[in-house]
Amino acid sequence: MNTNRWNRIRYTFYAPIYDWIVQSFNTSRKRSIQLLQLKTGERVLFVGAGTGEDLQFVPEGVEITAVDITPTMVEHIRRKAELLKRPVQVSVMDGQALELPSESFDAVVLHLILAVIPDPIACIQESARVLKPDGRIVVFDKFLPENEQPSLLRRIANVIAHFAFSDINRKLESIVVTAPLNLLHEEPAVYGRFGYKIALYQKS
Ligand SMILES: C[S@@+](CC[C@H](N)C(=O)[O-])C[C@H]1O[C@@H](n2cnc3c(N)ncnc32)[C@H](O)[C@@H]1O
């Protein structure tokens, strides 16, 4: 059921109320983007950018590109960029097959996308591909600890969670190990007891 087509349908439906649903994540968004230490003139890519709630936390002078598979979300990003008076390159694009040149970004932001996108390994590999050497990736999402197996109850709950919003049983390390990335820092995020965390990586 987790396909690009289904994601487009459900996120088109969520788009008008999305900012209200995710407002409690803002402290973690801000912290995550701060960890990137973005500098004037650097280029940052947001994959699965949603309504663009992250844009407000990007320092002035940083060049922003934001992509999402859902056209309605992309429209929201455009409007938010206008409100913030920030130039943002926005496109409808699949985060599993980025139509962007290799080694063209200083940083990639993966907020609440690795647990949503159908193929998170393709997404992390594509994100690493478009990063310049030594570029950084920051991930903010919920994951199952690597050494934990989901309980029967959690697996049953995931049938609904996966259908409605995102997979609650993905493991971050198993995804990231497939890309040329080194972990620089990791910390619990808001709702840390539910597995939400922030992790910063550098391209090796
Ligand atoms: C939970 S929302 C997260 C949005 C945003 N990153 C945030 O932090 O609020 C997931 C987003 O991923 C997008 N998405 C799902 N599959 C995608 C894909 N294959 N490529 C790009 N975006 C995708 C959805 O349209 C949705 O906007």
In order along the chain (204 residues), what is the average pLDDT of each group of 10 residues?
Answer: 89 95 96 98 98 97 98 97 97 98 98 97 98 98 92 90 88 97 97 92 96
Q: Answer yes or no: is the C-beta of 116 below 6 A from any ligand 1 atom.
A: yes
Q: How many CB atoms lie within 10 A of CB 35?
A: 18
Q: Is 55 helix (H, G, I), strand (E, B) or coil?
A: helix
What local confidence, expressed as pLDDT, does residue 14 receive? 95
- Residues constituting the chain: 204
Q: What spacing in Å lies between the alpha carbon of 20 and ligand 1's midpoint? A: 16
Q: Is 65 helix (H, G, I), strand (E, B) or coil?
A: strand
Going from N- to C-terminal start, the domains of the chain cover 4-203
What local confidence, expressed as pLDDT, does residue 162 receive? 87
What local confidence, expressed as pLDDT, does residue 124 receive? 98
Both tokens of residue 8? Answer: 């487009």
What local confidence, expressed as pLDDT, does residue 1 receive? 65
What is the pTM assigned to this prediction?
Answer: 0.96
Q: Which CATH class is domain 4-203?
A: alpha beta
Q: What spacing in Å lies between the alpha carbon of 94 and ligand 1's midpoint? A: 9
What local confidence, expressed as pLDDT, does residue 193 receive? 82
Of all helices (H) and strands (E), which one includes residue 98? Answer: none
CB–CB of 66/49 below 8 Å? Answer: yes
Q: Whose CA is nearest to atom 27 of ligand 1?
A: 50
Residue to substitute in 113, 125, 130 for testing ligand 1 pocket (most ligand atoms within 8 angstroms of CB):
113
Bridge partner residues of 65 (DSSP): 45, 89
What local confidence, expressed as pLDDT, does residue 12 receive? 97
Ligand 1 atom with least separation from CA of 140? 8
Q: Whose CA is nearest to atom 13 of ligand 1?
A: 48
